[in-house]
Structure 1
Amino acid sequence: MWSGPRNLSTAMMYAFAARGDCAVWDEPFYAAYLQATGLNHPMRDEIVAGHEADPAIVAARCAAEAPGGKPVFYQKHMTLHMIPGFDRGFMRACENVFLIRHPARVVASYAKKREGPTLADIGFVQQAELFDQVADWLGHAPVVIDSADIRANPGAALSALCSALKIPFTQNMLHWPAGGHPADGLWAPHWYGAVHRSTGFEDPEGPLPALPPAYADLVAQALPHYDRLAACRLRG
C-alpha cells in the first residue's frame, strides 16, 4: 500500500491487521530513508538505530513470505521513502495499491505535526511516479483507493478493495482495539495519537480546510498528481 503521510495509512494497516490472517509491516523503508537522506525528522536517531536501515535487506523481506505463515502480508509504504538508488525490483513480487487523499487535507494534517512541509515531504510526486512505473509493468492502471471513499462507506470501500486483490472481505476489518498495534514503528508516539484513540474508521470529513497562502500553493502543486490517480480510483 503506497501513500503519503497523513493519509489514513495507519488506520488501513490496523484494518488489515484486524483480519486475523494478515501480517503487517509499518513503513519498512523509513529508517533507510532517514539514513540515506540525513533528514531531521522527529525521533530520527531512535528510528535509524531501532529499525533496519539497509534498503537491500528491507526489500528482500518485502518480497519474502509473510511473517508467521500468514496468507496475507500488508506493507504500509510511504511513497517518499522510495528514493532514487533504492532497488524497486521487490515491487514486482507484490500487489501494489495506491492510497490517496486530497492534498489540502494532507497538508493541513501534516503541518500540525511537522511545520513547513515541502512537496517532497507529502509524497504526491513520488506516488504518481510509482503509479506510472507499476502501470508500465502491468500494462494497465494498478488499484487506487481514496481515503474519502473509505471514510464515506468503509464496508463498501474495503469490500471493493478486497475483491480487486482477490482476497475475502471480513467485517473484522472495520474495527480494532484502541491503543495502537504491536507492529507500530518507533515513531508512533509522535504521529499516531488520533488513530491510537480510535476503534474504527472516522466519519466522513467536512469541507476542505482553509490554508494560508504558502500551504495553498503547496496544495496547488500536488493537486494534479492527486487528480490523475483519483480518476482511476475504485468505486465501492
Structure 2
Amino acid sequence: MWSGPRNLSTAMMYAFAARGDCAVWDEPFYAAYLKATGIQHPMAAEVIAAGETDSAKVAAACLGPIPQGQSLFYQKHMTLHMIPGFDRGFLRGLENVFLIRHPARVVASYSKKRESPTLADIGFVQQAELFDQVADQLGRAPLVIDSADIRANPRQALTILCAALAIPFVESMLHWPAGPKHYDGVWAPHWYGAVHASTGFDGAETGLPALTGSYADLTEAALPLYQRLYAYRTGA
C-alpha cells in the first residue's frame, strides 16, 4: 500500500492486521530513507537505530517469506521513502495499491506534526512516479483507493478492495483495539495519537480545511497529482 503521510495509512494497516491471516510491516524503508537523506524527522535517531538502513535488504524482505507464517503480507509504504538510488525492482513482486487523500487534508494534518512541509515531504510527486512505473509494468492502471471513500463507507470500500485483490473481505477489518500495537513503528508516539484512540475508521469527512499562505500554495502544487490518480480510483 503506497501513500503519503497523514493519509489513513495507519488505520488501513490496523484493518488488515485485524483480519487474523495477515502480517503487517509499518513503513519498511523509513530508517533507510532517513539514513540516506539526513532529513530531520521527529524521532529520527530512534527510527534509524530501530530499523534496517540497507534499502536492498529491506526490498528483499518485502518479497518474503511472509512473517509469522501468515498467508497475506500488508506493507504500509510511504511514497516519499522511495528516493533516487533505491532500487524499485522489487515492485514487480508485489501487488501494489495506491492510497490517496485530498492534499488539503494531508497538508492540514501534516503541518500539525511537522512544521513547514514541502512537496517532497507529503509524497504526491513520488506517488505519481510509482503509479506510472507500476502501470508500465502491468500494462494497465494499478489499484487506487481514496481515503474519503473508505471513511464514507468502510465496509463497502474494503469489500471492493478485497475483491480486486482476490481475497475475502473479513468483518474484523472494521474494528481494532484502542492503543498502541506491537507492530507499530518506533515513531508511533509522535505520529499515531489519533489512531491509537480509535477502534475503527472515523466517519465521513466534511468540507475541506481552509488553508492560506504557503500551505495553500503547497496544496495547489499537489492537487493535479492527486486528481490524476483519483480518476483511476477503485469503485469510481
TM tier, smaller: over 0.9
Q: TM-score, normalised by structure 1?
A: 0.99
Q: CA deviation at 1:15?
A: 0.1
| Cα distance in 2, alignment partners of residues 219 and 227 from structure 1 | 12
Q: Which residue number in structure 1 is paired with residue 98 of structure 2?
A: 98
Q: CA deviation at 1:65?
A: 2.0
Number of residues paired by the alignment? 236
Query: C-alpha offsets along residues 83-128 of structure 1, whole Å, 9 cap, x if unaligned?
Result: 0110111111100000000000000000000010000000000000
| Cα distance in 2, alignment partners of residues 181 and 90 from structure 1 | 27
| Cα distance in 2, alignment partners of residues 29 and 2 from structure 1 | 12
| Cα distance in 2, alignment partners of residues 180 and 9 from structure 1 | 15
Q: Which residue number in structure 1 is paired with residue 157 of structure 2?
A: 157
Structure 1: 4+ residue segments shifted above 3 A: none
Query: C-alpha offsets along residues 125-164 of structure 1, whole Å, 9 cap, x if unaligned?
Result: 0000000000000000000000000000000000000000
Q: Which residue number in structure 2 is paired with residue 192 of structure 1?
A: 192
| Cα distance in 2, alignment partners of residues 207 and 73 from structure 1 | 35
Q: CA deviation at 1:69?
A: 1.3
Q: CA deviation at 1:180?
A: 2.1
Unaligned runs of 5+ in 2: none
Q: TM-score, normalised by structure 2?
A: 0.99
| 1:98 aligned counterpart, secondary structure | strand
Q: Which residue number in structure 2 is paired with residue 19 of structure 1?
A: 19
Query: Within the alignment, does 1:166 sit opposite 2:128 as a pair?
Result: no
Q: Which residue number in structure 2 is paired with residue 230 of structure 1?
A: 230
| Cα distance in 2, alignment partners of residues 80 and 72 from structure 1 | 24
| Cα distance in 2, alignment partners of residues 180 and 168 from structure 1 | 26
| Cα distance in 1, alignment partners of residues 200 and 180 from structure 2 | 12
Q: Which amino acid aligns with 2:102?
A: H
| Cα distance in 2, alignment partners of residues 65 and 94 from structure 1 | 12
| Cα distance in 1, alignment partners of residues 135 and 175 from structure 2 | 32
Query: C-alpha offsets along residues 169-208 of structure 1, whole Å, 9 cap, x if unaligned?
Result: 0110000000021110000000000000000000111100
Q: Cα RMSD between the aligned structures?
A: 0.7
Q: Which amino acid aligns with 2:13?
A: M
| Cα distance in 1, alignment partners of residues 53 and 3 from structure 2 | 20
Q: Which residue number in structure 2 is paired with residue 145 of structure 1?
A: 145
Q: CA deviation at 1:213?
A: 1.7
Query: Within the alignment, does 1:81 sit opposite 2:78 as a pair?
Result: no
| Cα distance in 1, alignment partners of residues 181 and 9 from structure 2 | 13
Identity over aligned pairs, percent? 74
| Cα distance in 1, alignment partners of residues 18 and 47 from structure 2 | 25
| Cα distance in 1, alignment partners of residues 50 and 172 from structure 2 | 31
